[in-house]
Structure 1
Amino acid sequence: MTPLDDIDRKLVMALARDARQPASILGKRLGLSQPATWRRIRRLEEAGVLSGRRLRLDAAKLGFGVTVFLGIKLATKGRVSLEDFERAVSGIPEVQTVEHVLGLYDYRLRVVARDLPDFERVLRRRIMTLPGAGEVEANVLLSEERLAGPL
């Protein structure tokens, strides 16, 4: 674990809110010069604390009106490798996240679709045909009250 001081924590939180902020603005807020701010950002990137900058897209405005969380149990553990399943499911563009979890299901997926018939097509033609896919439970997202933020 990389030791972080209070300024590092404030910098990480500020970047988590908006990674587009210029180092000069961040530095002013934190009481640092622009070069000192850049050095801290670079050090946090090299330590792996910061990894990339993401753009948050509005799925509904892009035509994806349905989000579904799927719990998937592998039907044939041992006969199909986890890597084969993960590689295959990662190739489906509608699948936004793939999480290997401990519990009732082996995997949790976040899937977007244009509407429910489109989701049914993705489920039947792509997800249910994955190597080792067994039992599936779907939960349709009704609303998202809080977006992911800093830890």
Structure 2
Amino acid sequence: MTEIDDTDRALLRAMQEDATRSSAALAALVGLSQPVAWRRIRRLEDAGVIAGRRLDLDLDALGFGVTVFLGVKLATKGRVALPDFERALGAIPEIQTVEHVLGLYDYRLRVVARDLADFERLLRRRIMTLPGVGEVEANVLLSEERRPGPL
């Protein structure tokens, strides 16, 4: 495990707030020189602490007005290889996240669609036809009050 000190934590918090900040801007925020900040960020990336940077898109503005969480229970665990099932899910772009979970369902999926009719087509034609799919439970997102923030 990589040693993380208070300065590293301050850099990570600043990057979580705005991942587009330059190393010079981050350095100024935490009281470092730009080269030192850059080296620390690079060390955190190399150690895997920073796994990547992402762009947060407004799904409504892009025409995806429905988000559904699906609980998927595999019908035949022994006959379907989990990596094959996960790879098949990865081929469906509307599936935003795939989480292998412990509990009532084997997988939890976050799926976006243009509207409920679009979601129904996606569910019937793409998701339910995947090998090994047994039970599926859908929960439609009504609103999202809290977004993930800094740790």
Q: Say which SS state the counterpart of residue 110 (structure 1) adopts.
A: strand
Which residues of structure 1 form unaligned runs of 5+? none
1:107 equivalenced with 2:137 (yes/no): no
Deviant stretches of 4+, over 4 Å: none
- The equivalent residue for 2:18 is 18
AA of the residue aligned to 1:69: F
- How far apart, CA to CA, are the structure 1 residues paired with 2:87 and 2:30? 42
How far apart are the structure 2 equivalents of 1:72 and 1:149?
27
Following TM superposition, by how much is the alpha carbon of 1:96 offset from its aligned partner in structure 2, in angstroms?
0.2
- TM-score relative to the length of structure 2: 0.98
CA distances 1:60-104 after superposition (whole Å, capped 9, x unpaired):
100000000000000011011111110101110100000000000
The equivalent residue for 1:56 is: 56
1:32 is aligned to 32
Q: Distance in 2 between matches of 1:127 and 1:5?
A: 44
**Structure 1 position 150, deviation (Å):** 2.5
Separation in structure 2 between the aligned mates of residue 50 and residue 107 of structure 1, nearest angstrom: 25
Q: CA RMSD, aligned part only?
A: 0.7
| 2:145 is the alignment partner of 1:145 | yes
For residues 44 and 123 of structure 2, the distance between their equivalents in structure 1, rounded to whole angstroms, comes to 40
1:57-72 equivalences in 2 (<5 Å): 57-72=57-72
Q: Between the two proteins, what is the percent identity of the paired residues? A: 74
What letter corresponds to residue 84 of structure 2 in structure 1? D
The TM-score, its normalising length taken from structure 1, stands at 0.98
Alignment of 1:123-134 (within 5 A): 123-134=123-134
* Structure 2: stretches of 5+ with no match in the other structure: none
Partner of 1:135: 135
Could you tell which deviates more after superposition, 18-27 or 122-131? 18-27
